[in-house]
């Protein structure tokens, strides 16, 4: 499964404004909830519940908030870029800039894990992360992800 099999251009936010974990999640949820046809507040609740189990800030400037919703038909993925960086309680204590938000149906553990693994793999490449950080807008972010997605 490729990232762009799931990520729609409309779900890319190129300049997140919030400086708090909950605020970032609330921003990321807006296009994802709209695409999925789910209640944004419910999605925020699910993601914040997951964060209480342990931060999805995996370090190196990356956060991958994720959760499962029972009334969801298929995987939904969003992307956000915080140019200033935010304290996302990452394991390395560093500010988080690059976010992928993943929401899956309750019964799709296999796909959920495959997509998380793919995202984690490509985000280990520093040149890819640098290109994302310096992208001018959502269209450029989409193109950068598309190019990287083809290589894997």
38-90 pLDDT per residue, tens? 999 999 999 999 999 999 999 999 999 999 998 888 899 999 999 999 999 99
Full domain range(s) for residue 41: 3-151
pLDDT classification of 110: cutoffs 50, 70, 90: confident
C-beta of residue 141 within 8 angstroms of C-beta of residue 79? yes
The upper half-sphere exposure of residue 1, i.e. CA atoms within 13 Å in the direction of its Cβ, equals 17
Task: Indicate which residues carry an active-site annotation.
Answer: 66
CATH number at residue 47: 3.40.930.10
Decide: helix, strand or coil at residue 38: coil
C-beta of residue 94 within 8 angstroms of C-beta of residue 110? no
pLDDT classification of 106: cutoffs 50, 70, 90: confident
Q: What is the pLDDT of residue 113?
A: 86
- Among residues of the chain, what percentage have pLDDT more than 70? 99
* H or E element, residue 82: strand 76-86
Q: What is the pLDDT of residue 59?
A: 94
Number of domains within the chain: 1
The whole-angstrom distance between residue 150's C-alpha and the CA centroid of its chain comes to 19
DSSP character at residue 39: -
């Amino acid at each position: 499964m490729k990232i762009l099999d799931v990520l729609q251009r409309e779900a890319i936010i190129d300049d997140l404004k919030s400086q708090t974990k909950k605020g970032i999640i609330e921003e990321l949820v807006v296009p994802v909830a709209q695409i999925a046809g789910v209640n944004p507040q419910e999605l925020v609740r699910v993601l914040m519940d997951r964060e209480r189990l342990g931060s999805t800030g995996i370090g190196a400037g990356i956060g991958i908030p994720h959760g499962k919703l029972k009334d969801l038909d298929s995987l939904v993925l969003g992307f956000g870029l915080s140019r200033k960086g935010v304290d996302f309680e990452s394991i390395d204590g560093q500010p988080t800039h690059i976010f992928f938000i993943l929401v899956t149906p309750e019964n799709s553990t296999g796909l959920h894990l495959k997509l998380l693994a793919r995202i984690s793999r490509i985000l280990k490449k520093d040149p890819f992360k640098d290109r994302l950080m310096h992208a001018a807008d959502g269209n450029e972010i989409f193109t950068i992800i598309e190019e990287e997605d083809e290589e894997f």
